[in-house]
Amino acid sequence: MAQFLYRCTAEGAVNNNLKASCDFEMVFEEGSHHCPICGQELLRVSDGLTISEILRLGQQLANKHKTKAQQKNE
Protein backbone atom coordinates (compact mmCIF):
# COMPACT_ATOMS: atom_id res chain seq x y z
CA MET A 1 0.00 0.00 0.00
CA ALA A 2 1.19 3.54 -0.76
CA GLN A 3 2.58 5.74 1.99
CA PHE A 4 2.10 9.50 2.29
CA LEU A 5 3.18 12.31 4.59
CA TYR A 6 0.42 13.44 6.96
CA ARG A 7 0.42 16.67 9.02
CA CYS A 8 -1.69 17.73 12.01
CA THR A 9 -4.44 20.25 11.24
CA ALA A 10 -4.61 21.79 14.75
CA GLU A 11 -4.13 25.56 14.97
CA GLY A 12 -3.05 27.34 18.12
CA ALA A 13 -2.53 25.83 21.55
CA VAL A 14 -3.45 22.18 22.14
CA ASN A 15 -3.82 19.80 25.12
CA ASN A 16 -5.40 22.39 27.44
CA ASN A 17 -2.73 24.95 26.45
CA LEU A 18 0.09 22.62 27.52
CA LYS A 19 1.54 22.90 24.00
CA ALA A 20 1.69 26.20 22.12
CA SER A 21 1.11 24.41 18.81
CA CYS A 22 1.05 20.94 17.33
CA ASP A 23 3.59 20.41 14.56
CA PHE A 24 3.20 16.62 14.31
CA GLU A 25 3.86 15.03 10.93
CA MET A 26 4.67 11.47 9.95
CA VAL A 27 4.50 9.05 7.04
CA PHE A 28 1.53 6.66 7.18
CA GLU A 29 -0.22 4.30 4.80
CA GLU A 30 -3.08 5.91 2.89
CA GLY A 31 -6.18 6.31 5.02
CA SER A 32 -7.78 8.32 7.80
CA HIS A 33 -5.46 9.14 10.70
CA HIS A 34 -5.58 11.27 13.85
CA CYS A 35 -2.76 13.05 15.67
CA PRO A 36 -1.38 11.05 18.63
CA ILE A 37 -0.54 14.31 20.43
CA CYS A 38 -3.78 16.30 20.23
CA GLY A 39 -6.31 14.03 18.51
CA GLN A 40 -6.99 16.29 15.50
CA GLU A 41 -7.43 14.76 12.07
CA LEU A 42 -4.22 14.49 10.06
CA LEU A 43 -4.14 16.01 6.57
CA ARG A 44 -2.28 14.32 3.74
CA VAL A 45 0.45 16.61 2.41
CA SER A 46 0.72 16.92 -1.35
CA ASP A 47 4.04 15.95 -2.89
CA GLY A 48 3.49 17.67 -6.22
CA LEU A 49 1.40 20.13 -8.19
CA THR A 50 -2.36 20.00 -7.90
CA ILE A 51 -4.50 19.53 -11.00
CA SER A 52 -5.58 23.18 -10.92
CA GLU A 53 -1.92 24.30 -10.72
CA ILE A 54 -1.03 22.11 -13.72
CA LEU A 55 -3.98 23.48 -15.72
CA ARG A 56 -3.08 27.07 -14.79
CA LEU A 57 0.54 26.57 -15.89
CA GLY A 58 -0.63 25.00 -19.15
CA GLN A 59 -2.95 27.92 -19.85
CA GLN A 60 -0.19 30.44 -19.13
CA LEU A 61 2.16 28.60 -21.48
CA ALA A 62 -0.49 28.44 -24.21
CA ASN A 63 -1.18 32.17 -23.82
CA LYS A 64 2.54 32.94 -24.05
CA HIS A 65 2.89 30.92 -27.28
CA LYS A 66 -0.23 32.56 -28.72
CA THR A 67 1.13 36.04 -27.96
CA LYS A 68 4.48 35.22 -29.58
CA ALA A 69 2.75 33.85 -32.68
CA GLN A 70 0.63 37.01 -32.97
CA GLN A 71 3.71 39.22 -32.64
CA LYS A 72 5.45 37.27 -35.44
CA ASN A 73 2.46 37.75 -37.74
CA GLU A 74 2.39 41.53 -37.25
Question: Residue 24 above 90 pLDDT?
Answer: yes
pLDDT of residue 28: 93
The pLDDT, as a whole number, for residue 64 is: 92
Are 72 and 37 contacting, i.e. CB atoms less than 8 angstroms apart? no
Higher pLDDT, 31 or 49: 31
Digit-coded pLDDT (tens) for 31-47: 999 999 888 999 998 77
pTM above 0.85, yes or no: no
Structure-model confidence comparison of residues 14 and 64, the more confident one: 64
Region of residue 69 (phi > 0: left; psi between -120 and 50: alpha; otherwise: beta)? alpha
Across the range 41-64, mean pLDDT stands at 89
